[in-house]
Amino acid sequence: MTKGCRYRFLLLLIVLLAILGIGVSYPNLAEAARECGSFTDNFWCWRSNPYPCGPHGDNDYTDQNDGNCTWWAWYMMCRRWTWSSTNPAPRGWGNANTWLTEASDDGFPTGNEPRANSVFVWTSGSKGHVGWVFKVDSRHVYTTEMQYYGWEQYTNENGPPNEDQGYKKRSRAAMISLGARYIYEKESGPHTATILVMDVSGSMGWRWKGGIKIESAKQAALQFIEEVANEPRLPGTSHMIGVVTFSGTASLVLPLTDNYARAKQAIIKLGTVSSTNLGAGLVTALQELGKVPTAQRFVILLSDGKSNTGLSRQQILSGPVVGARQKRVCIHTVAFGDPGDIDEDFLRKIAAGSGCGSYNYAASGFQLFGTYVKIRHAMLGSNRIVEFTSETSKGSRVYVLPGQAIALGAFQLTGPARELHYTLAWSEPGRMRAKLVDPSGREVTYAYPGAKLYSGSGFSHVTVFSPKQGIWRVAAVGATTFPRGIEYYGVTSARTGGIVIPYRIPKICIFDDICIPIPDLPTWLIVGISVAALAIAVYSQLVAK
């Protein structure tokens, strides 16, 4: 390696260590810059606050007594209501006295009755006034709000025990006399609606990678349905699933439903037929999704070949794909089979053309389920996804002993998050357990605050609501013996306004097909190994040049 390369390598190593140090010491570095006093807009709702903090068209809020009521009301609405990439917060509703009309036009319910977690609106005056209702009893309405031009501020988000500590208490009669009206969160409809569009052409009956393709696809779909059925969810929401198959024609095998037992039965009964009419499959799926216009809608399109009947490629791209984009339906495409038999470029164009989809390739039945898991994390509104896999260039397997905890890696949440998900999947019959350790070193168990855990057939899932900022450690625990070794796949995701820094660790392979995992070590050591491995990889590339 030349002298110049050595200098570049040392500089890169310094930068990596600096990033690590900054990330650990200053977890709020990547948060959004829209601040108002001690409050920061952290992109909780897929859109930044459209309002200035101060009344002079800027974000000057230095004296804590000069803040825009619209900034605060939008900030609390963003924090407390449920949003997603396909259902972001509104861009802004003008001055306070136009909020009621603008919100109604955007489909938000309005009314005269005060409710907790609603926005109150006064339309009187030149600009009106808005604030956040956090509590209501039989006689009083409790609010937090910012006031214009030096009035008193009431900005404790959680409603402290007395009025001097940051909230306002008014009688119901006073609110009525002031002409208060209220904006409510949109009623909960189906949270997500997903159509599995599955290729059942003749080639899906072929043997590939140790199994029949249609049987591998069915197994992955069954696991996907089990995962969806057991996800933690907010009260009043549902996750609906439908199934469309295509061969020479397309069939709606299962209309959208949240009856997951029925969905599994529909998958079990699938068999192969003849040619590949991909366009008809998409058209049928979009027709079914049109029945639930308020849901967040998705298509997962699985194909092992090339469309050879029905709509042409251009007609598909200009017809159902454009229609999906206009209706905000995300199409995720999954290629499954020999790459030489698949029109990968076309599947990429379908995903990109929908505006919010992704293209994926699965080389085995296990990878197919892993792909479904990753797509599901994206569907849940997670905007930061980190993957951990046992896969190597040699396709090696990892050997895990019963009771052994192995390290997958770590990741750092640099900003507040609403929820954190971790799914572990494995390839062989038997049981493993997803292990997640928080920044303080505490393992997430059933007793952990805000945690939900579930173990299913070939996967284990952990959800943490309101997770801590800092570095989380990701591990897996073997519960049974795997004499042939296993492949594993872990994916973590978070709904957060900060960046997520991954720390991946290497596998130690003693033969081409046998790898020994690194045991579950303290978080600081996992991070150190990850940074060192990255530095060595960069150094090796520089030497090779």
Strands (E), 304-369: 329-336, 359-362
Q: Other C-beta atoms within 10 Å of 37: how many?
A: 19
Most confident of 41-55, 104-118, 142-156, 382-396: 104-118
CB 97 within 8 A of CB 128: yes
Label residue 43 by pLDDT band (50, 70, 90). low
Lowest-confidence pick of 46-60, 178-192, 429-443: 46-60
Mean pLDDT (whole number) for 277-304: 92
- Alpha-carbon gap, residue 59 to 14, rounded angstroms: 35
pLDDT at 55: 58
Check pLDDT > 80 for residue 507. no
Within 10 A of 259 (CB to CB), how many other CB atoms are there? 13
Q: Kindly tell me if the per-residue pLDDT of 276 is higher than 90.
A: no
* Whether pLDDT at 59 is above 60: no
Percent of the chain at pLDDT > 70 equals 82
**Residues 266-292, mean pLDDT to the nearest whole number:** 91
DSSP state, residue 204: G
pLDDT given for residue 14 in this prediction: 47
Q: Which two tokens stand for residue 101?
A: 């009309």
Domains detected in the chain = 1-30+382-545 (2.60.120.380), 36-183 (3.90.1720.10), 189-381 (3.40.50.410)
* Mean local confidence (pLDDT), 189-211: 85
- Name which of 30-34, 458-462, 495-499 the model is least confident about: 30-34
- Report pLDDT for 21: 45
Indicate whether 163 pLDDT > 50: no
Q: Is 209 helix (H, G, I), strand (E, B) or coil?
A: coil
Dihedral sign for Cα atoms in the order 266, 268, 274, 275: positive
Q: Which residues contact 277 (CB under 8 A, 6 or more apart)?
A: 246, 247, 248, 249, 250, 307, 309, 310, 311
Split at pLDDT 50, 70, 90, the class of 85 is: low
For 109-129, write each residue's pLDDT tens digit.
899 999 988 999 999 888 899
Mean pLDDT computed over 171-181:
94
